[in-house]
Amino acid sequence: MTDLSSIVTSVYLPIVAAVGSGMIFSKLLVSYGGAWGESNSRRIPAFLAQFLLRIGIPIGIANFVRSTELSASAWIAPITASLAIALGLLCSACILGPMSSILAATRRSFQLSSYVGNTSFIGFPVVLLLPQLGPSYFGVAVLYDIFGTVLGGYGLGAWIATRGENGNTRSSWRSAIIKTTQLLYKNPSLLAFVAGLLLKLVELPETINSILSVIAWGSIMLALLTMGMRIQQLSGSGSFQLPLKAVLIKMVAVPLFIGALLTATGFAGPERLILVLQAGMPCAFATLVLAENFNLDRALTVQTLIISNLILLLTLPIWVLSLTSW
């Protein structure tokens, strides 16, 4: 059984150090960089995020998947991701009530925040750094990310963000498909996963293996630093009551149900822990991308990002300590 001290040492310290470094760097740019620093405090994380989504993270996925043996139960990841999406949307519908009770932009932002999680920038490092998980089980986390965040977030999420625009359902669908294709192009995780499976058939030189490993781990740490820069720039105001409800759905209700269901159906061990952790990750910055692309409630989205990243510090050890049974 992994105790709290090992979680702090193996997971919290590297994550907090990397995220904290990003926050400090962003703050220094704004405080001492003048107009140049103010401008680049936003350009740098935007550039790093694009680099990571299109190059760094995909290389990491391909490298880790190449060295991972997918278990016979890995198929449960896409099913669990789909179930988590359905649960998040169902809970959000119950909380929000009738369609006329809340603005459409706020409703859609709430729905996205209730199920789209940060399964790559935060979820991947957590799985890789936990001593009882690590790269051996990384493939399950990637499958969850592809179906739960890449397809569920940018695919279904784009439809949720645009449905009923101008009262024209056909136009809404066409707009969603076009914008979804553009967003999915920027996140080639699925292609990277397939590339990793194909690389299993190839014997790479040790030098290439070392280079890929350095890039993969470097991208994970760079992702955390980028997260820190983005978090430092967030500023929420107004009531946090509604955002908190979305976060509680995303990080408590859904993973709790997923964990109970997996346990009841006989799933245990590392796969169960990974799936619950991925289901309970903080709200994704993808929700902010969608909010800005589709004119949703940006303020609510920012508030859910702030709250969910803070709550992770409390929920992570709870899931790990309660589900570690091997």
Share of the chain above pLDDT 70, in %: 87
pLDDT, average across residues 74-98: 90
Indicate the pTM of the whole model. Answer: 0.83
252 vs 228, higher pLDDT:
252
Report residue 1's pLDDT band, with 50, 70 and 90 as the boundaries. Answer: very low
Inter-residue contact 317 to 4 (CB < 8 Å): yes
CA gap 177, 156 in Å, rounded: 10
Structure tokens at 300: 């609510």
197 vs 174, higher pLDDT:
197
CA gap 52, 34 in Å, rounded: 27
| Domain residue spans of the chain | 4-323
13-22, 36-45, 103-112, 174-183: which has the minimum mean pLDDT?
A: 174-183
CA gap 21, 24 in Å, rounded: 5
246 vs 70, higher pLDDT:
246
Q: Running DSSP on this structure, what letter comes out for residue 116?
A: -
Inter-residue contact 87 to 254 (CB < 8 Å): yes
- Please check the confidence at residue 168 and state whether its pLDDT lies above 60: no
Q: What is the pLDDT of residues 131-140, one digit of tens each?
A: 878 888 888 8
- Please check the confidence at residue 176 and state whether its pLDDT lies above 70: no
135-144, 164-173, 233-242, 297-306: which has the minimum mean pLDDT?
A: 164-173
The strand pairing partners of 117, in sequence order, are 283
71 vs 227, higher pLDDT:
227
CATH code reported for the domain at 4-323: 1.20.1530
